[in-house]
Structure 1
Amino acid sequence: MTARSTPSALHQVRAAIRANALPGVLLWCGLAVLLLAYATMPAFQQGLARWGDVKQAWGLTFAFVSYVVFAVLVPEGLSVALGRQTWTRKTTMDVLYAALVFGTIGLTVDILYGVQVHLFGEQSDAITLVKKMLFDQFVYSPVSNYLIVALFAWREGGFTLKTLRHLFSADFLAHQYLPVLIAMWCVWIPGVMVIYFMPTELQFPVASLILVFWILIFKFVRRS
C-alpha cells in the first residue's frame, strides 16, 4: 500500500481560492449594499457616526471589545441559536481563546489605521486608497494572518513545543499559511478599499461590520 501524497502548495492555494469564491462574491455584494446604505440612508450614516464617536472616546479598549463581539461572540451565538452547534465547556474555552486572539488583532487594526493616516493622510482619492490598500494587504495582512493561522494551529496541536517549531517550518508556510493568505487577498482587497473610502473616524466601525459579515459567510456558507 502506497502512502497518500501530500497535496502541493499550489494545489492547496487553488483549493482555497475555489472554496472562497462563493463567500467572496457574497461579501462583495454585501459591500455594495453597505455603500448604498451609506450613500442613501441618513439614519445609517448617523448610526456609524455615533459608533465612531464611541470608538474615539474609548480608544483601544473599544477596538478590543468590538473585535471580540463581531468576530467571536456574534458568529458563535448565531451558530448556537440556529442549531448549527451546541454550547459545551469546550465551546467556552474555544471562545475565550478566540476572543483573546481577535481582540488583540482588533488592537493592531486600530493602530494600523492611525499609522495609515500619518503615512498617507486622510484623503479618499484613488491614489491614496491604493497606497493604503497595498500597505494593508501586503505589509500588515501577511503578518496578522500568519499570527491568526499560527495561533489556532498551535492550539489544535495542543500547545506543544513540537507544534510551535512546526509553525516556523517551510511546510507550514507553504501548505497552511500561504493558501489562507492568497485566498484572503482575493476576497479582502475590495473590502479594504471600501474601508479606506470612508472618513477616518468611520473606518473601524465599517471594518467591524465587514469582519462579522465575512465570518458569518464563512461559517454558514463555506462550511455548508
Structure 2
Amino acid sequence: MPAPSPLRAALLAARANLAPGLVLQGFAAAIVAGYYLAPPVRTALERLAVFRGEVGLPFAVVSTGIFGAVIPFVILRLSAATRNRYTLAQMSALVAFWAYKGVEISLFYALQARVFGEEQTVFTIVAKTLVDQFVYGPTLAAPLTWLVYAWVELRFDTRALIADLRAPGLYRERIFPLLVTSWSVWLPTVVIIYLLPTALQLPLQNIVCCFFTLLIIFMTRRPTGAV
C-alpha cells in the first residue's frame, strides 16, 4: 500500500489530534474568560503579569524550557512504551532549544504589540493571527523546529542532517506536514492568546506548547533502523 501524500498524512495527523486540541483550546478559552469575567482569576493573572515584568526575559527562558521540554520529558518517562524515547543528552538539547524559543516568542509577541497595538480589537487580533500563523510560522517557527528535532532524532549526526537538508522536496515532505498539524492546534489558539494582554500571552502559549511538543516528538520520529 503506497504511503499517503505529505498533505494527507498531515491532515490525518491533524484529525487524530482534533479532540485533545479542542480540549486545550477550551482550557485556554476558559482562562481568558476567567480573566475578563472572574475578578479572582483576573487578580491572579495580573500578579503573574507583574511578576513576569519584574523578572523579564529569564521568565520566558525558564518557563518555556519547562513547558516545552521538561514536562514532556517527564510525561514520556512515566510510560514504559516511551521511557527510552530520548536520552538525557537529547532532552538537554531540547530544553536548550525551548529556552531559546521562549526568548524568540516573547520578542515576537512584543513586536506584534508594537506594530499592531495592544488593544483587543477585531483588526488587531486578526492581523496578529495572520502574521503569526502565515508569516512567522511557515518561514521561521516550523522550519527551525523541524531542524532541531530532526537533529535530535538523528542523535546529533550532522552529516545525516545535511543529507536530509539536501533531499528534494524537503519542505513539502518534512516541514509542511508539521506546519499543517501546527495550524490545527495553533490557529484557533493564537486567536485566544491575543485576547489577553501582551504580558500574559507567553504563559498561556506555554501551556498549549506542552501538548504540542508531544505531537512534534511523534511526528518527527523515524522508523526503527532509519538513518
TM-score normalised by length of structure 2: 0.82
**Corresponding residue number in structure 2 for 1:172:** 170
SS in 2 for 1:44: helix
**Corresponding residue number in structure 1 for 2:120:** 124
User: CA offsets, 1:123-179, max 9 Å, x none?
Assistant: 110011000001111111121121111111122224232422423544331122101
1:59 aligns with 2:56: yes
- 2:32–2:195 contact (8 Å) kept in structure 1: no
Of the three residues 174, 179, 182, the one matched with 2:180 is 182
Of the three residues 128, 150, 155, the one matched with 1:153 is 150
Alignment of 1:191-210 (within 5 A): 191-210=189-208
Greater Cα offset, 104-113 or 53-62: 53-62
SS in 2 for 1:198: coil
RMSD between superposed Cα atoms in Å: 2.7
TM-score normalised by length of structure 1: 0.83
- 1:154–1:167 contact (8 Å) kept in structure 2: no
Cα deviation, residue 212, structure 1 = 2.8
> Aligned AA for 1:108?
E
Structure 2 CA distance, aligned partners of 1:168 and 1:23? 35
Of the three residues 7, 17, 20, the one matched with 1:10 is 7
Give the direction of change, closer, same or farther, for the CA distance of 1:114–1:76 in structure 2 (3 Å limit): same
- 2:143–2:175 contact (8 Å) kept in structure 1: yes
Cα deviation, residue 215, structure 1 = 4.6
1:103 aligns with 2:85: no
Give the direction of change, closer, same or farther, for the CA distance of 1:204–1:11 in structure 2 (3 Å limit): closer
1:139 aligns with 2:147: no
Size of the aligned set, in residue pairs, is 216
Structure 2 CA distance, aligned partners of 1:12 and 1:198? 33
Structure 2 CA distance, aligned partners of 1:198 and 1:37? 11
Q: Is there any run of 5+ residues in structure 2 with no aligned partner, and where?
A: 218-227
- 1:23–1:218 contact (8 Å) kept in structure 2: no
SS in 1 for 2:169: helix
Q: Is there any run of 5+ residues in structure 1 with no aligned partner, and where?
A: 220-224
Structure 1 CA distance, aligned partners of 2:4 and 2:203? 39
- 1:68–1:103 contact (8 Å) kept in structure 2: yes
- 2:72–2:213 contact (8 Å) kept in structure 1: yes
> Aligned AA for 1:137?
Q
Of the three residues 71, 89, 93, the one matched with 1:93 is 89
- 1:13–1:179 contact (8 Å) kept in structure 2: yes
